[in-house]
Chains A and B, each alone.
Chain A
C-alpha cells in the first residue's frame, strides 16, 4: 500500500483533497454569485444559450453536463433575473425552448471578463486545485 511520509494511505489523502475541492468550489460559486449575480452553473447555462439560441431544455442539460433537475432550478433562477426566457415550441406545444435575453448577454459579457481573470487559461487539474485553495482558503483544518 502506498503511503505518504506521515504514513497516511494515498487514497485517504485523495479523499481529503477531493473534499477540499468540493468545499472550495462551493466557496467559489458563492464568490461569483456575490460578484456577478451568477453561479458557475448559471454562467455555463447562459454561455450555452448564447451559442445555441432557442434550444430545448433537454439539449441544454446535455450540453452543460448537469442533471435536468439541477438545470430546472438554474433556469428558474435565471428567468427570474430576466437573463433568459422560456417559450413554447411553435411546432410542439409539449416542448419548451429557451433563449438568452439582452440582459443575460450583458451578464455573460461581464462574467466572462472576471472568469478569464480568475483562472489561468491552461491550468491543469493540479494548478486549478492550487488556485482554488489559495483563492478560497479553508477556515479550519480537516
Chain B
C-alpha cells in the first residue's frame, strides 16, 4: 500500500480528476469518525463543507452499511447517490431482493435475540436492525474478545446462514448472494456512465470494493492494513479533510488554467 497524500500518490489522485470520475465514500470511520455509539456518528462541519463543494464539481456517492434513511438523516447535503445497507438500498435496487432480505433479517433477529438474550443488556452488546441487514455492535463492551466469540458462536447456528462482514467492533450480517459495496459501486458507475471511480473506506466491509480487479477504481483505505486489497491509504480518519482539499484544488487548478 502507498500513502495517497505522498507526492506520487497525489499525482495519481490528480489524474483521476482529469476524467469523469465518481467519487465514492464510506460513511462511518471515513467521513465521520468512529464513535462509541452508532447513533452519535456525524460529519464535522469542515468535512461537510468540503464534500459539498466537491459534489458541485463531480459526482459524489456515499455507500454505507447504515440503512438509507439513517444515512440520509446524517447528511446535510444531497449527494449524487446514496447507497445503504451495504448495497441493498439505493437507486434501481430490486424490491424483491430487498423484501427477501427483510424477511431473512427478521428470522435472524429472533434467533439471535434468543441465543444472546442474557448478554444483550449491560454487556455492551446491541443489535441494530437495519431492515435488510443486521449489525451486532460490541464497541461498548469491556470484554470485547469474549463477546465477539459469543456472537460468532450464535451466528454459526442461525438459519439461513448469513454472510458476515466484520467491521470495527461490529459484525454485519447480510444475506448470502446479496449485493455488496463493490457491486453497488460498479452499478453506480454503469448507471452514471462514469468510467472511473475513487472509493475510500475504513474497514473490512470496504474490502469488497478494494478487491474489485478494476484498474479504473482507485481504492483508498483509512488506516494502513496488512493484507488489504486497497492500493493506497491515508493514516487516519482525520486526514479526510486534507484529502478532500487536495481533490478540490485539482479542480480549481483546472478551472484557473481554462481561464
A interface residues, Cβ below 8 angstroms from B: 49-56, 59, 85, 87, 89-91, 97, 99-102, 105-106
Contacts and interface: CB of A to CB of B under 8 A. Distances in A.
B11 to A, nearest CB: 6
Interface in B1-28: 1-2, 8, 11-12, 14-16, 18-19
B15 A53 contact: yes
A72 B99 CA distance: 53
B229 A91 contact: yes
Would you list the 3 A-B pairs with minimal beta carbon distance, nearest first? A53-B15, A99-B15, A90-B2
Nearest to B14: A102
A49 B12 contact: no
Contacts of A106: 257
Nearest to B253: A102
Given A87-B12, A90-B1, A91-B231, A51 B195 contact: yes
20 contacts: A49-B15, A50-B19, A51-B19, A51-B195, A52-B215, A53-B16, A53-B18, A53-B218, A54-B12, A55-B215, A59-B215, A87-B8, A87-B11, A90-B232, A91-B231, A100-B15, A100-B18, A101-B11, A102-B257, A106-B257
Contacts of A49: 15
B229 A53 contact: no
Interface of B: 1-2, 8, 11-12, 14-16, 18-19, 195-196, 215-216, 218, 229, 231-232, 253, 257
Contacts of A59: 215
Given A52-B19, A87-B8, A87-B12, 16 more contacts: A52-B196, A52-B216, A53-B15, A53-B19, A53-B218, A54-B12, A59-B215, A85-B11, A87-B11, A90-B232, A91-B1, A91-B231, A101-B11, A101-B14, A102-B18, A106-B257
B12 A89 contact: no
A90 B231 contact: yes
A67 to B, nearest CB: 21
Nearest to B228: A91
Interface hub of A50, A53, A97, A100 (most chain B Cβ within 10 A): A53
Contacts of B1: 90-91
B18 A105 contact: yes
Contacts of A90: 1-2, 231-232
A54 to B, nearest CB: 5
A109 to B, nearest CB: 9
Contacts of B232: 90
A101 B16 CA distance: 10
Interface hub of B11, B196, B218 (most chain A Cβ within 10 A): B11
Nearest to A59: B215
B15 A101 contact: yes
Contacts of B253: 102
B255 to A, nearest CB: 13
